[in-house]
Structure 1
Amino acid sequence: MREQYLRAAELISSADALLVCAGAGMGVDSGLPDFRGDEGFWRAYPPYARLGLRFVEIADPEHFAADPELAWGFYGHRLDLYRETRPHDGFTILRKWGENKPGGVHVFTSNVDGQFQRAGFTDVAEVHGSIHHLQCLAHCGAGIWPADDVVVDIDPESMRARPPLPSCPDCGALARPNILMFGDYDWVPDRSQRQLDEFTAWRRTHRSIAVVELGAGRAIPTVRRQAELASAANGNLVRINPREPEVRHGRGVSLPVGALEALTILDELVA
């Protein structure tokens, strides 16, 4: 393992820019729940176990129309959780590495929790949107707006939200998080697309990029694919993942541990 860490540190140290590709595993060390599998989700949210509702079912946009109190019970709780969560020290380590490089640091993430922005990152591409922003369920043309003032009152026993529920400031219809959910054809992608356009422009202007991928699984491989694509030319990929650490064709370094542990060790080695 020592050799793997040394090789990973060399890849990071020798690059002119840093790309952080992060999946849900990045937040585990901050205390965020692991929704991997139905059992993991039900441990985090026992009321849904009693109802027999799986994560892919509750994270479904149809509930906002059919049962908005149920939908906002889940997303309102997550909004509060993410607001209260302090990013772990690994975020600070990554930001420091990027600030020491001429090309800086950019983040590509499927996470909707806003933890990177809270940790001080400014260039973040949130490919699945953000729970800290809302959109109108009635498609009135209001666009996307911040959820900064949104407070959702939730019954902890039933995990149902109590009225009033978040509403559109333009037309008064029900609002929903600006998140790409399962089977979601109503998501408004404008904000995320602007971020992705900025990310693409940054990538095109920087050739010597080290890619650090953290906690990105195969089930929804968006982040893994981006990390592999961005490192295809030079093989400068550091994959940190305790469950699915394999790197295809030896094109990078595999560290089969959690994000905070790996970053803490690497920080002692990165020049």
Structure 2
Amino acid sequence: MTDPLSQAAELIASADDVLVCAGAGMGVDSGLPDFRGDHGFWQAYPPYERLGLRFVELADPVHFVEDPTLAWGFYGHRLDLYRRTVPHAGFAVLRDWGARVFTSNVDGQFQRAGFSDVAEVHGSIHHLQCVEPCTDDIWPADDVVVEVDPETMRASTLPSCRNCGGLARPNILMFGDWAWVPDRSQRQLDALTEWRRGARNLVVLEIGAGLAVPTVRRQAELASAASGALLRINPREPEVRHGRGVSLPMGALEALTALAALTGATGPGRRTG
């Protein structure tokens, strides 16, 4: 019986197109926290444990209205963290395979690794919008620097809306978000849908997507429904339903490094047989 890694490598080598559906686990090997549960979040951000604040409480747009220095303390720190993070070598493997990307991550790591076709279903921390919002305008946060006190995790500088001068916020879909402007993400999703219509012999790599927020898993299962060519890379929740796919209980970097070694020059679209 073929072992799962070899089976996965065969699917990749025989594919014409590759879709990556990535959750927070994709960035763990780059040193990024995945915020899995309160304990994982507090490990990454000890000051919030002292303050008794959980991730779901901080990732709430109400704070940008009621307590903006707290809100921007959290998101400003993350913005700086993501800017300083170097994507691990697994990103380069996927790029070499010519993969398209669907992700719930807002960290911009795929773009940093050289990808141009990325569908960010929950938005991006590297783009801003008005808190109100006064318009549907979305603009890059390239010039924004948010100073954050490491003890209180509060921001001393607050970004402004470039249209009305009021408070700006990240263009990220938060919990219970009534004001998120989805236009940028929708354009990316529309482009992905158009690409999928023309994709042939598609293999889907789902990487680091857990059950807590099932957006990525749903997309991966739908995209692979016709062929069953789903590779689920997840060290904690790797099971596939009804045998419709290959389960790889591994981290992203370990799995992608192993698959790259097995496929070699016969990656997607480069079959030699």
| TM-score, normalization by structure 2 | 0.95
Instruction: Map Cα deviations across residues 190-239 of structure 1 (whole Å, 9 max, x no partner).
Output: 00000000000000111311101100001100000100000000111110
Q: Give distance in 2, aligned partners of 1:2 and 1:228.
A: 22
Q: Give distance in 2, aligned partners of 1:107 and 1:131.
A: 17
Instruction: Map Cα deviations across residues 125-153 of structure 1 (whole Å, 9 max, x no partner).
Output: 00000000000012221510000000001
Task: Determine if contact 1:70/1:161 at 8 Å carries over to the other structure.
Answer: yes
Instruction: Map Cα deviations across residues 11-67 of structure 1 (whole Å, 9 max, x no partner).
Output: 111111000000000000000013101011011111110111110000100000000
Deviation larger for 1-10 or 228-237:
1-10
Q: Which amino acid aligns with 1:209?
A: L
Q: Which amino acid aligns with 1:141?
A: T
Matched, 1:63 2:56: no
Task: Determine if contact 1:142/1:170 at 8 Å carries over to the other structure.
Answer: no
- Residue 158 of structure 1 corresponds to which residue in structure 2? 152
Q: Which of 193, 218, 224 is residue 225 of structure 1 equivalent to?
A: 218
Gaps of 5+ in 1: 99-104
Q: Give distance in 1, aligned partners of 2:13 and 2:2.
A: 16
Q: Which amino acid aligns with 1:62?
A: V
Number of residue equivalences: 264
RMSD: 1.1
Q: Give distance in 1, aligned partners of 2:133 and 2:245.
A: 44
Runs (4+) of structure 1 exceeding 2 A deviation are: none
Percent identical among aligned pairs is: 76
Map 1:45-124; keep pairs closer than 5 Å. 45-98=45-98, 105-124=99-118
Gaps of 5+ in 2: 267-273
- Residue 253 of structure 2 corresponds to which residue in structure 1? 260
- Residue 40 of structure 1 corresponds to which residue in structure 2? 40
Q: Give distance in 2, aligned partners of 1:266 and 1:217.
A: 21
Q: Give distance in 2, aligned partners of 1:167 and 1:261.
A: 42
Q: Give distance in 2, aligned partners of 1:75 and 1:138.
A: 18
Compute the displacement of 1:2 (Å): 7.0
Q: Give distance in 1, aligned partners of 2:2 and 2:113.
A: 29
Give the match's secondary structure for 1:194. helix
Q: Which amino acid aligns with 2:171?
A: N
